[in-house]
């Protein structure tokens, strides 16, 4: 018998990439009730202007918080976290956990001191990313590749569509041309879903590092340190929300139900 009802957390991404974070959290902290919000209304985030993304988050989050009352928020999107964490933390006192590129562990892990950052076009050029590299990888040469195409490829794969390996190869060509490179940061939550294809193309010499497990540990810690709740939460069911009702979201519905989401809903925000 459980003493406590599960914690409610909100996991947020532009699309379904945040499922890679959801999977890690569920593995470490199974007793959570997840509301996953995919902001497919303005997907993809990685090519939006910084101003547009900041405005979108500032408009959307007060509504999401009011509606879903999460106890913690996980921004499972590097493109958003590298830009909006401070804004969000000004909006709410609910703990906000941000997924940002795992530059620090990659720089510690690399023997050759040549590392890659594979992320969205937005994430690779953020000032936040510059600071991460300056603070934790100043002893490394960092090759940055920003790609929106790989985000689409990951979305396609989860929809059961074929992955275009030749396209992936073209995107990662700058890494293939660097014989000394031994570590790549997957700085977009969509990319762990392409791990198999990337490993095949890059071979054994390159290790891929993402932020999933670290975020799960952080989430676990945050939930354990939350103050006692006055009101019990009655459902442990996970729910998947899209911000736009369109064909591609409907197409994903069976897959999401199969993954354990009890319901898939659409909100008009
Ligand atoms: N999954 C998101 C990230 O980690 C971004 C995908 C997009 O461009 O919308 O950056």
The whole model's pTM is what?
0.96
Give the separation between CA 76 and CA 73, rounded to whole angstroms: 9
Stretches where the chain sits below pLDDT 50 are 1-2
Q: What is the pLDDT of residue 269?
A: 82
From residue 131, give the alpha-carbon distance in Å to each of 42, 125, 249.
Answer: 27, 11, 36
Supply the angle between the helices 50-68 and 78-91 in degrees, to the nearest 10: 60
Q: What is the pLDDT of residue 234?
A: 62
Compute, in angstroms, the gap from residue 81 CA to the centroid of ligand 1: 10
- As annotated, the active-site residues are 77, 188
Compute, in angstroms, the gap from residue 158 CA to the centroid of ligand 1: 15
Give the separation between CA 84 and CA 107, rounded to whole angstroms: 24
Q: What is the pLDDT of residue 268?
A: 87
- Strands 96-98 and 32-38 come out as unpaired
| Ligand 1: nearest atom to the Cα of 80 | 10
Give the closest residue to 189 by CA, choosing from 254, 111, 97, 267. Answer: 97
Residues forming a β-bridge with 52? none
DSSP helix/strand/coil, 236? coil
């Amino acid at each position: 018998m459980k003493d406590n009802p599960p914690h409610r957390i909100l996991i947020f991404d532009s699309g379904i990439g945040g499922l890679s974070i959801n999977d890690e959290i569920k593995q470490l902290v199974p007793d959570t009730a997840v509301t996953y919000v995919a902001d497919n209304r303005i997907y993809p985030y990685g090519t939006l202007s910084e101003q547009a993304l900041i405005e979108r988050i500032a408009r959307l989050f007060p509504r999401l918080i009011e509606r879903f009352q999460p106890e913690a928020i996980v921004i499972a999107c590097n493109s958003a976290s590298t830009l909006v964490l401070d804004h969000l933390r000004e909006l709410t006192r609910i703990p906000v956990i941000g997924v940002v590129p795992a530059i620090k562990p990659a720089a510690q892990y690399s023997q050759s001191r040549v590392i890659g950052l594979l992320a969205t076009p937005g994430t690779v050029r953020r000032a936040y990313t510059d600071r991460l590299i300056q603070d934790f990888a100043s002893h490394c040469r960092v090759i940055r590749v920003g790609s929106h195409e790989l985000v689409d490829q990951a979305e396609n794969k989860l929809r059961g569509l074929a992955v275009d390996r030749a396209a992936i190869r073209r995107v990662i060509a700058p890494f293939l041309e660097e014989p000394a490179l031994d570590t790549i940061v997957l700085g977009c939550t969509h990319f762990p879903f392409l791990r198999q294809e990337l490993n095949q193309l890059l071979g054994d010499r390159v290790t891929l590092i993402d932020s999933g497990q670290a975020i799960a540990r952080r989430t676990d810690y945050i939930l354990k340190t939350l103050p006692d709740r006055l009101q019990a939460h009655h459902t442990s069911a996970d729910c998947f929300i899209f911000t736009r009702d369109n064909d591609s979201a409907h197409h994903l519905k069976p897959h999401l139900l199969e993954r354990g989401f009890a319901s898939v809903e659409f909100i008009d925000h």
